Structure 1
Amino acid sequence: MIDSLILQQGSDWRAQAEVFDEIFFVFLALGTLIGTIVVAYMLWNVYKYRDDGGEPKEDFDAPVVGELPTGQGGPKAKKLFLSFGLSAIVVISLVVYAYGILLYVEEGPDAGEEGDIEILVEGYQFGWEYEYPNGHTQTEELIVPADQRIDIQVTSRDVWHSFGSSELRIKSDAIPGETSTNWFSVSSEEVEAQGGEATYTVECFELCGQGHSAMKGQITVIPEDEWEEWYAGTEGENASRIDGTAVGGVPA
């Protein structure tokens, strides 16, 4: 698979944010390069074929409104088909590249030997509750390990919400009675760059009531060994479950 060859080399997984940043950079770079070439060529032709007030040369093949190239080897036909061929190559290459790289975003990296960590994310007015595989639940903060694929199952207990983090480039609808899936991963290098603990803001991207703007949370990523120690201490423990009480001063 293209995604496996390009994006997953051994155990080096790439976060969605890195993938989208790469796509943006590639399209920006190519768009700038091609735009510069096209504009420069246009200006060159404007100068070359400007009206200097003199008589046109006898062999000057002036363009005619509505005229199409005959395809019989004329200079205008050659330029047209050359530009069309180059444009087709660039567009097809970008489509193949973007499709292959987006497959990785859609499917995610393969699970490790111990499998993925699957967390249930439930939205409510106006906050988020997270349930871990061992039954431990907590609100406001989702704590996960670095260098692991984190699968999230997103739903809602009341109205439509949308769980997401702009920094991680993830977003999933939270709909009552339905479940949407997504994944994310943060490298240990990123965690170290943020001082041993990486934090990302969680927001609701669906207008869900008067407390919508305050419906925020946090994803905290810590080294895997620290997370395993923390997770082992959550056995049989629930952290601050919300049962219709107020969150941030806003009644449910």
Structure 2
Amino acid sequence: MTTILPQLTTPLQQTRVDVFNEIFVLFLGLGTLVGIVVVSYTLYNAYKYRDDGNHGEDEDLPVVGELPTGGKGGRKLFLSFGLSAVIVLGLVFWSYQMLLYVEAGPGDEAQEEALNVDVEGQAFSWTFQYENGVESNGELVVPADREIQLNVTSIDVWHAFGIPDQRAKADAIPGEYSETWFIADAPENGENVTHEDAIECFELCGAGHSNMKADLTVMEEEAFQEWMAEQEAQANSGGNESGGGNESATGTQTGPEGNESSANGTDAASNESGANESSAAGAGGNATDAANETNAGNESDTNGTDASGDDGNNDTEDNETDGNADDESGQEGES
């Protein structure tokens, strides 16, 4: 109790984990104390006013028409209700102050040194973008003992970003930004600590909702600066490589003459090939014409031969006619 009550008047410089742990411990302690008092008093009254078998006159038995006496003016009732009201109001006031701290953050000085990270949810993964443009997919890398300010949004459907170990949670709504923050404790022995699947989605967003997780890596400040420098160098080297690719494209653009020459050479080769093909086609045509002429000559010779054959046949018929005429003349002479 001595470590909690001074926080009502002194500035709070705690993590969200510390705040919620203190709220939990205080309510648990007071709740346990009140429970013990109530149960003990109930058992005491049950034992004191038990039935002992003596049914004589009872001074506490109410009588019709008479006011009860011996109640000491209701001081017990006032004490019990007054004490309960003080406890409840004190808890409400203290809890409200603690929750205001959770909403506002550690303070202006801490917020000036805070690391701002944009968190983008997409089914079913998380993307983290730092102020210098460095992006990380599936892993949030943060320095220890430093406020981390998260700006959470979504690009498709509703999600809910949450880190249970850090008591941080914010809705991821398309087109809107929700803010939350946390301060991670320094890792033991100065070594980097990676909490696997420490980041989860707490809004049912589809078939892969249960797999929408990411890792949380906590580093010392120096190690984090080295990691950030490496990420920037990789990003710059990637940009230079992309620029080299553009130069290559420019080199390609500066050589249209070579392309035109190649195209002209290709056209010339095509023309030569076409000319050769035309010549071959012409030669083929000449050969075809020659063949046609030869066939025509052969046909003419054949026709001539047929005609000669016909003449021979005609001569033979004439000879036969002459022979018959001679035979007829001889027969007439003999007669």
**TM-score, normalised relative to structure 1:** 0.81
Distance in 1 between residues matched to 2:70 and 2:45, nearest whole Å: 20
The one-letter code sitting in structure 1 at the alignment partner of 2:59 is: D
The one-letter code sitting in structure 2 at the alignment partner of 1:5 is: T
* Structure 1 residue 115, shift from structure 2 partner: 2.3
Comparing both structures, which one devotes a greater share of its residues to strand? 1
Comparing both structures, which one devotes a greater share of its residues to helix? 2
What is the CA deviation profile of residues 4-54 of structure 1, one whole-angstrom value per residue up to 9, with x for unaligned ones? 71532xxxxx22112111111111111111101110001100110112121
Please, which of 96, 101, 118 is the counterpart of residue 98 of structure 2? Answer: 101
**Structure 1 residue ranges without an equivalent (≥5):** 9-13, 239-252
Distance in 2 between residues matched to 1:41 and 1:107, nearest whole Å: 42
**TM-score, normalised relative to structure 2:** 0.62
**What's the counterpart of residue 245 of structure 1?**
none
**What's the counterpart of residue 179 of structure 1?**
177
- Higher normalized contact order (CA 8 Å, seq sep 6+, divided by chain length): 1
Q: For the pair shown, which has the larger CA radius of gyration, 1 or 2?
A: 2
What is the CA deviation profile of residues 120-178 of structure 1, one whole-angstrom value per residue up to 9, with x for unaligned ones? 00000100000100011111001010111000000000000000011111110000001
Distance in 1 between residues matched to 2:10 and 2:189, nearest whole Å: 27
**What's the counterpart of residue 77 of structure 1?**
74
* Structure 1 residue 113, shift from structure 2 partner: 8.5
**What's the counterpart of residue 125 of structure 1?**
123
Pair 1:48 & 2:53 matched? no
**What's the counterpart of residue 192 of structure 1?**
188
Change in CA separation of 1:91 and 1:84 when aligned onto 2, cut-off 3 Å:
same
What is the CA deviation profile of residues 52-77 of structure 1, one whole-angstrom value per residue up to 9, with x for unaligned ones? 1212544325599xxxx99x983472
**Structure 2 residue ranges without an equivalent (≥5):** 1-6, 236-335
Counterpart contact for 1:140–1:216, Cα < 8 Å: yes
Change in CA separation of 1:193 and 1:87 when aligned onto 2, cut-off 3 Å:
farther
Map 1:193-208 onto structure 2 (within 5 A): 195-197=191-193, 199=195, 201-208=198-205
**What's the counterpart of residue 35 of structure 1?**
35
**What's the counterpart of residue 241 of structure 1?**
none
Aligned residues: 226
The one-letter code sitting in structure 2 at the alignment partner of 1:227 is: F
* Structure 1 residue 195, shift from structure 2 partner: 4.7
The one-letter code sitting in structure 1 at the alignment partner of 2:42 is: M
Give the CA RMSD over aligned residues.
2.7
**What's the counterpart of residue 5 of structure 1?**
10
Counterpart contact for 2:126–2:214, Cα < 8 Å: yes
Change in CA separation of 1:3 and 1:173 when aligned onto 2, cut-off 3 Å:
farther
Change in CA separation of 1:222 and 1:3 when aligned onto 2, cut-off 3 Å:
farther
The one-letter code sitting in structure 2 at the alignment partner of 1:164 is: G
Counterpart contact for 1:120–1:131, Cα < 8 Å: yes
Distance in 2 between residues matched to 1:235 and 1:211, nearest whole Å: 32
Counterpart contact for 1:136–1:236, Cα < 8 Å: no
